[in-house]
Amino acid sequence: MPTVRVFVLRAPGANCDLESAFAFERAGAVAERVHVNRLLEQPRLLDDFQVLCLPGGFSYGDDLGAGRILGSQIQHHLFDAVRRFQAAGKLVLGICNGFQILVKSGILLDEADPRGPAATLTNNDSGKFEDRWVRLHATGERCVFFAGCHELYLPVAHAEGKFVPRDQATLAALDSAGQLVLRYANGNGGPVAYPDNPNGSVAAVAGVCDSTGRVCGLMPHPERHIDPTQHPRWTRGPLPPEGDGLAIFRNAVRFFE
């Protein structure tokens, strides 16, 4: 089979593109980091790739809100190119700031509803930047990226990661459709409060996919835990041979095999 090619979209302020590209390469893909200006000049560049990754960081310094500027660029200049990419059966992954971009652009959750966006990502309840490791529960039946995943331990690093649906009916609809694919967990099955839920997300939602399961956004950083030595307790006990996050990238590659 041909090698899977990953398009890692770079923008001013993005700072996780190298790690994301490396994670995909560890999973068996070939990753290319491309600046958004190149894509704006040649939207057809996407046609030669199978996966589009929007990495974490602070695109355009989050000057108008996290992910809002790059999200607006995609919405007004690249929307058709990304929709064509999706229609071809390809994959889109947004990590942290990339998740914010997918939501703000309307790529992840369709904004055609006259009531407005189905959900948004807003300021953490703590009122501060949260940089910590969290336990997560994944539901992989719907989403390509979480196939075979259940319990994950990954770091978060964000100030605007609180998932807020438009209303309870919208939350219930997303839940029943299997689109709430990743949630913060605490290991005992009880209510998930701060700091286990680091931002106060409604229903402890940490990641969402679209109705096809091929477009996904998540707040935690899987690219920061692909090797056991990245685990905060890696010197203090036995660990699996690889970090929990690598499975997410490997699932994307396997999808095309």
223 carries an active-site annotation: yes
* Residue located via tokens 């700091």: 195
Which is the catalytic residue, given 158, 221, 225, 231? 221
96 carries an active-site annotation: yes
* Residue 204 backbone phi and psi in degrees, to 5: 60, 30
CA atoms within 13 A on the CB side of 33: 15
* C-alpha of 112 from chain center: 22
141 carries an active-site annotation: no
* C-alpha of 184 from chain center: 14
CA distance 256 to 195: 37
Which is the catalytic residue, given 96, 143, 149, 209? 96
* Residue 138 backbone phi and psi in degrees, to 5: -105, 145
Which is the catalytic residue, given 137, 149, 223, 225? 223
> Which residues are identified as catalytic?
96, 221, 223
